[in-house]
Amino acid sequence: MSKKTVRDLEVSGKTVLVRVDFNVPIKGGNITDETRIVKALPTINYLLENNAKVVLFSHLGKVDHKDPEKCEADKKKNNMEPVAARLSQHVSCPVTFVSVTRGAELENAVKNMTEGSIVLVQNTRYEKGESKNDPELAKYWASLGDLFVSDAFGSVHRAHASTVGISEHLPSAVGFLVEKELKFLGDAVENPERPFVGILGGAKVADKLKVISNLLEKCDTLIIGGGMAYTFLKAQGKEVGTSLVDMEQIDYCKEMIEKAEKLGKKLLLPVDTTIAASFPDPIDGEIDVKVVPSSEIPADMMGLDIGTETAKLYADEVKSAKTVVWNGPMGVFENPTLAAGTKAVAAALAETEATTIIGGGDSAAAVNQLGYADKMSHISTGGGASLEFLEGNGLPGVDAIDEL
């Protein structure tokens, strides 16, 4: 499937509606991480340089439309105005912020645009119909422009009015960020240089059911860490103490272990684990830990990170890989004591010459937090979207874009 990119559109003099992902963390009115704004700049700057009028749409946080009082509080909290101010620091033209999502103020702002200028529209989730892909809302937004560009990879797995609906009314293409994401993830899953190693972590098996099965078919080695590892260990008949276990997925884990054997794939599980009496509270507080074999976790203790031997085992496996896809930390990486496993894997990825792809979400946060971001081939901006892709599912916000 080959989609049009922004290069394939005649944008000069046109009003181009661009769905970006400006869902950035804001505390006290200040943006604490501008990564998603920076990642959108190549597409925005390309349009500006080619004399387009650029109208940006993005969601920010969540808005509860069921409770009027909470709805107003959410709108106040998730106002896009600070984003407009930060964006203006990165572009060579003024950024006009429109504080509404429809009506005369928005229409006039777009109508009065000049070539090479930007309008940033208020949070799309101010609209109740956004998440429902309301046809009327999508048609209204589409009426504001001539072309549509999808460049919010973090949202393309959602069929919303601003991600899918608009594209049904306008000529459309993907932006440079989405193009890059699809290339890295697509090449890794469908045409990887081998050996291909998949690394899955995180809390629950249930969150990654299809990913585990799909990656087993695609990769040569699948490494399991994080909380989900204890469900696999339980499925092997091991005692896991009070560790997080997804009891409803025990049989599924047994099936995946059998599937790996049938396919001749390596499925690596922790051989030792870092344990403690309880989950850290606060999450980054001091905690007493020790490392024990995975088969010897005491009944009153819980596993919170892979152990030292496991970290070495996983690192050695990564060093011989040519392609690595990683989604999910190896332990409670937010705690310095329990970040050792995640750090060991990240360090191994940083040293390898393999193509290394980090699947967004907590994995991306861990790599950034541990200082290895610049050593990775690609860090996805969309945890949910990358998971959908790794599951082998379609992405509505990409599927809706015009074919070449």
Residues with a known catalytic role:
36, 204, 361, 384
CA distance 219 to 83: 40
| 9: DSSP letter | S
Question: 3-class SS at 51?
Answer: coil
Q: Which of 24, 28, 25, 55 is nearest to 37 (CA)?
A: 24
Crossing angle of helices 383-391/176-190, nearest 10°? 40
Q: Which two tokens stand for residue 363?
A: 């994995």
Q: Quick check: 177 and 43 in contact, CB under 8 A?
A: yes
Phi, psi for residue 97 in degrees, rounded to 5: -95, 130
Exposure of 32 in the CB half-sphere (CA atoms within 13 A): 5
Q: Which of 172, 200, 213, 205 is nearest to 383 (CA)?
A: 200
**Angle, vertex CA 95, rays to CA 379 and CA 54, nearest 5:** 70
CA distance 45 to 325: 30
Q: Quick check: 138 and 165 in contact, CB under 8 A?
A: yes
